[in-house]
Structure 1
Amino acid sequence: MNYYQDITLLPDADIALGFLWQKIYQQVHIALVEQKVDEQHSAIAVSFPSFGSNGFPLGNKLRVLAKEQAQLEKLNLAGFLSRFEDYTHLKSIQLVPESVSHVAFVRHRVKGQARIEKDMLSKAQIWSTKSGQSLELCLQQLEKSKPAADSKLPFIWMESLETKAKNLTGSAKFPLFIERVEVAGVREGQLNCYGLSAVRGEQIASVPHF
């Protein structure tokens, strides 16, 4: 990534920072979807320069990065954020500094309590059938390694554009949990349409961190 553009969020007494993150990141997501390179991927990344801040875990700044200046110009963040110009400060497109470290930001999927219970029952039924043990006994054994439904990672409430299009009456909101992963050097992985690395491991996508 060679170019970047910073968005600083400006909360006030009436508009909280967490609420602003929902609105601003949703607009950035819509912009990334419009410029996506295929159905699931983006050529443009996001980063959170103040990730882990004491006050608000995502900080108050969102950075958008691309290999080419023209990609950020075409993204037209000013247009997508025009309704929020009183609550954001959008800087001009800049060159990424030469000496920087790299990190990756990935989506961390957290299961809700209902999904955890459903998965446990399914595993217990399979285990019971294979082992001949009672379903109750298998559930008791699985309870020992039952995952927690919560996460201490920061998240942003998002609205799924795909779910909203398919279901006009149901809720399309979900928490997008974000995790920062330390990496050694540049990693040329794919990005999803939230601007995050699409995968972990060897194929992870890194961004300059400064």
Structure 2
Amino acid sequence: MKFYQEITLLPNVGDEIPLTFIWEKLYQQLHLAFVEIIDDQGKVNIGVSFPRYKSGGEKRWLGDKLRIFAESEQALEVLCLAKWLSRLNDYTHMSSIKSVPEHVDGYAVFRRLNKKSNIEKLARRRAKKLDISLEDALAFFKDTEQRQQSDFQASDYPFFWMTSLSSGSKYPVSVVREDVGHHETRIGFSTYGLSLEDNDLRSAVPIFR
């Protein structure tokens, strides 16, 4: 990835607009923008990173910055972020298109947490906390979608909310970061700008200050 744009989220304390609300509105628009450029294989050629990402317990958060990466300057021009984010001008600041630094700190994969694979981990945590059997804890997560979403938030990973355009219901998208040193592999990105997965292959984006 050779070019990027950076979006800074600007929560307005006076208006009591929290960062989580801005992330939700921002990502709803980004998702629509990425859907417009999806290819015939269901892939997007633009990926994202969260430069101030933190995970683990109460310290988890996405930060207040998002970088949008592309292989070419033209790809970002076609995406036209300014059009999609025009309604968020009071709550976001978008940079011009810039070149990725020649020397970067490394590469990282930002991918969506697989909810199904995470349920067993959460169930073990619940069983230990409540001193119940693992079977009872697993049954709790399989009970209702609402409960699954509630406890899904209790994972160690930060997330943003999305609203389904078909049903109007909200669902969380948890983000996992995996540092991969100085190795860059690209197999494509989803309509969240997050890495797709193909066996052990994932798409990495550059990390720098």
- AA aligned opposite 2:202: I
SS at match of 1:43: coil
Could you list the runs of 5+ residues in structure 2 that have no partner in the other structure? Answer: 121-131, 142-150
The corresponding residue for 1:182 is 179
- Deviation at residue 189 of structure 1 after TM alignment: 2.0
Distance (Å, rounded) in 2 between the aligned partners of 1:32 and 1:154: 21
Query: Which structure has the bigger radius of gyration?
Result: 1
SS at match of 2:197: coil
Distance (Å, rounded) in 2 between the aligned partners of 1:156 and 1:188: 24
1:69 aligns with 2:61: no
Q: 1:11 to 1:142 in 2, by over 3 A?
A: closer
* C-alpha contact (below 8 Å) 2:60/2:156 kept by paired residues: no
Aligned-residue RMSD, C-alpha: 2.7
Cα deviations by residue, 1:157-206 (Å, 9 ceiling, x for unpaired): 01234xx1xxxxx4432100100012131112221111101116531100
Q: 1:47 to 1:200 in 2, by over 3 A?
A: farther
Distance (Å, rounded) in 1 between the aligned partners of 2:42 and 2:160: 20
Runs (4+) of structure 1 exceeding 2 A deviation are 53-56, 144-150
TM-score w.r.t. the length of structure 2 is 0.76
Distance (Å, rounded) in 1 between the aligned partners of 2:156 and 2:69: 26
SS at match of 1:89: strand
The corresponding residue for 2:124 is none
TM-score w.r.t. the length of structure 1 is 0.76
Q: 2:162 aligns with which of 155, 158, 164?
A: 158
SS at match of 2:21: helix
**Identity score, percent:** 42
Q: 1:142 to 1:15 in 2, by over 3 A?
A: closer
Aligned ranges 1:124-135 → 2 under 5 Å: none
Distance (Å, rounded) in 1 between the aligned partners of 2:9 and 2:199: 31
Cα deviations by residue, 1:37-94 (Å, 9 ceiling, x for unpaired): 2362100001101101887710000110000100001111111111110111110000
- AA aligned opposite 1:57: W
The corresponding residue for 2:109 is 104
Cα deviations by residue, 1:134-164 (Å, 9 ceiling, x for unpaired): xxxxxx9861884974312111101234xx1
Q: 1:55 to 1:143 in 2, by over 3 A?
A: closer
Distance (Å, rounded) in 1 between the aligned partners of 2:171 and 2:96: 31
The corresponding residue for 2:196 is 198
